[in-house]
Amino acid sequence: MATQFNIGVDWRRKGVICWEAQPGDALNILPQPIRYTTLDWRTNTADSIARQSVDTDYGFNLFAVTTGVGTNNGFIMGESDASAVDTIPISASTSYSLSVRVKGVSGYTSIPFILRVKDQAGITLVTSSDTNLTADWSQVSVTFTTDASASHIYFEFIKNSHAADVEFQLTGVMLVESSNMPAGYNAGTTADLYDNVTDVVRHLDWSLGFRQPYQDVGHRMVLEMQVDNTDKRFSPDYAPGSNNPLEGYVLPLRPVQVRSDDGTSERVHWSGWLESITPSVGKLGDRQAQLRASGPEHFFSNVDTTIEIQQNKRTDEIVSRLLDEITIPPALFATTLPDVTGYCEIDSNAWVTGSTVIDSTIDTGKSTLAYAADNWVRRGSKNEDKPDTFNVFAAIKDTVAAERGRLFFDRIGQAVFWNRHNTITNRTITVTLDDDMHGLQYNYAGQGEFVNDVTVTVYPRTISESTDETLWQLEKPITLQPEEERQLGASYHDDSDNRIGGLDVYLDSIEFADNANGTVIIEEEGANRAILLLKNSSNQDITLNTCIVRGQKITDFGKLDAVAEDSPSRYLYGHREMTLNLRAVDNQDFGQGIADFELLRRKTPSGKMQSITLRSHGINGGGQHTHQLSRTIGDRIKIIESQSGHEAEYFIIGENHKLVDSMTRFETTWHLESATEQNWFMIDEDDIVADASVEGAAVIIPI
């Protein structure tokens, strides 16, 4: 079984990697490929035609068509409903090829379609033979020559005299000035022909997921590749005009992806963004470059959270709200950037500065938190230059820790949140490895896994009875110039200058000098901070003298510890301590449940596999190659190893892969976590009943 790995970089950040394009291919000359914003298409040639935002290998827009029963219904591009043909220009007496990518959705079996091209006078230039749709994307192409009077064309992808009602999708339109249509899609720029960098990759190493058992939040996704840079294309400062096809495009924040195709399945193995480019220097050196990419965590590092108070919210609801705070940069082709050449178009489709929240798969949380976000502060002083709030990543970690769940980023780069029952309920073994691994890391009573003294610190809240407590007040007057608007951060503090949370906040005692006509509103209400918007609508300076933010105070200064310890274990094996500081938990009983849970699964020393390593040929496969490709985070596996006498079940919690020796040696390391059933119970759903006849045993009683 041969496997083809592909590594792609979207150099123009256009929203698609041109995987199959090749250097030398004719370029797509269709106006606005991918976006289709300057093109006409008919809306009356089918029951329904809708342009939809869907990511494909041929762009982030497609046309969803429901033909209806009309015998020649379908999709027509380049002609308006008013029969104007003037948006796809061509030259007279010239050879062209045109292709579309199409995929059937329903009702398409054995229904013939044709691709037909006409000029502005309605003269048919070419009609394809009948083609049948499939459930996969396929390319339909035609070649034609325009006559001496041709100036524009339009094309039809329609049923060939059949009354069936068919749903299909169409995208990836290509028009090239050539009698040969390239097999691979491109979006019209030479750089697109170099998106697939597989042929110059010499070494590839990527990782994702967790490194240690029971971690709350996964490690940062990282990819590193060593590429041949003999032609200097990966040297950003090397720009000899047309000799460098990537001139001006070798930049950070370019999307990167690793894929494989073993003839049976196509898989994505890693998705992220280029972070740094390091070419080797010296004309007699190795003439290579190191490219480093990182996953979505890259966009969490410098974002503080000031979300609104979270009252009686499940952990998944809070995680979702925090993820909404993160902006994942969209394709530049989907973004209007004022004053930036090539990206400042605002057309009839109202493209504006883009923002995208991260894709996610989120379990329903098992815990509901009475309060969250109010104490996400680092106890800073109000006199500091920057309000001392929590980083979004730290806030997510706090929430996930309270759930005893997990959050990580998977192979396609989406955020995945597991509740605490996710692994407990996963009983399916996906593969058994019986002495057929190439490497093992085994540890007995490993640091971090073996614990016999657990302390969980929780933070019971105190809510003031009064609803008009002073949370913040203006300390010195602020002068606004004519027509000026200004934002002002108001971090909540008590009388001792401690940071606190606020509930049901409102403004009070707003006074401008000389009764000037100014306004102050709460533009954004956070759990421990408000953003005020000050406005001066007059034509003269005005001064705000006083302003107070009032509401209920939320304080958590009475923190409590929940402790679980196993004295026999301490005497037998020594003191192994673990502490958890959970700001989002306000209930000591729940904290005690967490402490008991952590002690139960860690108190007994045992032998565990930390990781295993598999190897195979990167192209020809063999060995455990199929499992290297398909097994991923969350899969349950069984390991049998005769030398240590170890036999146990594990979850894959992290992946590290290497492709070396010109992509021929494929090495995979799985980081593991025990899936031993008797060490588990469900907080809030199970009772723990000690069995005195067996040391360290517990009986699981569902309730």
Q: From CA 523, how far away is CA 208, in angstroms rounded?
A: 38
How many CB atoms within 10 Å of residue 289?
Answer: 21
Same domain, 340 and 371: yes
Structurally, the chain folds into a number of domains equal to: 5
Same domain, 108 and 208: no
Q: From CA 414, how far away is CA 271, in angstroms rounded?
A: 9
Comparing CA positions, the residue from 553, 557, 529 lying closest to residue 389 is: 529
State whether residue 614 is helix, strand or coil.
Answer: strand
Q: Where does a domain end: 259, 294, 329?
A: 294
Say if 328 falls within a structural domain.
yes
**Measured in whole angstroms, how far is the alpha carbon of residue 160 from the centre of its chain?**
42
Say if 499 falls within a structural domain.
yes
pTM of the model: 0.88
Say if 239 falls within a structural domain.
yes
Q: From CA 114, how far away is CA 334, in angstroms rounded?
A: 31
Same domain, 316 and 395: yes
pLDDT tens per residue across span 445-472: 776 678 999 999 999 998 999 999 999 9
Reported as type and span, the H/E element at residue 594 is helix 588-602
How many CB atoms within 10 Å of residue 387?
Answer: 18
Same domain, 215 and 353: no
Say if 148 falls within a structural domain.
yes
Q: Is 445 left (phi over 0), alpha (psi -120 to 50) or beta?
A: left
pLDDT number for residue 13: 93
Q: Where does a domain end: 226, 261, 294?
A: 294
Same domain, 169 and 113: yes
Same domain, 643 and 702: yes
Q: Could you tell me what percent of the chain has a pLDDT over 70?
A: 90
Say if 578 falls within a structural domain.
no
What stretches in the chain show pLDDT beneath 70? 1, 239-242, 284, 333-356, 378-389, 447-448, 677-703
Q: Are 471 and 505 in contact (CB under 8 A)?
A: yes
Q: What's the one-letter identity of residue 145?
A: T
Q: Where does a domain end: 243, 267, 294?
A: 294
Q: From CA 370, how far away is CA 587, in angstroms rounded?
A: 9
Same domain, 97 and 170: yes
Q: Are 72 and 158 in contact (CB under 8 A)?
A: yes
Q: From CA 602, how far away is CA 649, in angstroms rounded?
A: 16
pLDDT number for residue 700: 39
Cα 148 to Cα 85, 116, 177, 427, 456, distances in angstroms: 17, 19, 16, 70, 82
Tokens 């990782």 label which residue?
Answer: 207
> What is the CA angle 574-580-586, rounded to 5?
140
